Structure 1
Amino acid sequence: MLAAASLVPILQMRKMIVLPTPTLLWSADPCFDENGPINSASENSQHFARRLYETMHDIGFFKERPYQPLGSDTAVNQTLTPK
């Protein structure tokens, strides 16, 4: 978990953009059942559910709008075409 948070500033120093922002989950084991779904009886389950939903929303946003270098025809079309 913390490895991603430690790596982000290093990538940013190298002028890289890290999207979406890593989602940190602490003491996550009790918040999920053995098959993967969130255990609603756990103390932090609502917080984790919200954070994971926001992260998946961000991932979907960038998946629908992949990076295109400036100056490429695709980049121009993406900025002019509404989604």
Structure 2
Amino acid sequence: MSRLLLDDYLSWIGAAPLVTAEEIVLATRMEGLRKPVNDLSRGTTVADIVTTVAVTAAQVRDNEPSLAGDELPKVAEHF
């Protein structure tokens, strides 16, 4: 998600993200996993949850197999 689109989205939902050095802190991200995972605290606002869901959906969309024949590994192959 580009910075401009993210800014438009955040202003639309009325979120006030923490902006430091042109970066936005959204939530804890866990790296090195096949699928995006986010960790939300008890004090998370509805706007933070909606923003995190939007970013996670974009990550999932970017990781989907392409039409060039890429396939996700089958679950049975891992057992």
Q: TM-score with structure 1 length normalisation?
A: 0.38
Please say which structure displays the higher CA radius of gyration.
1
Greater strand proportion: 2
Greater helix proportion: 1
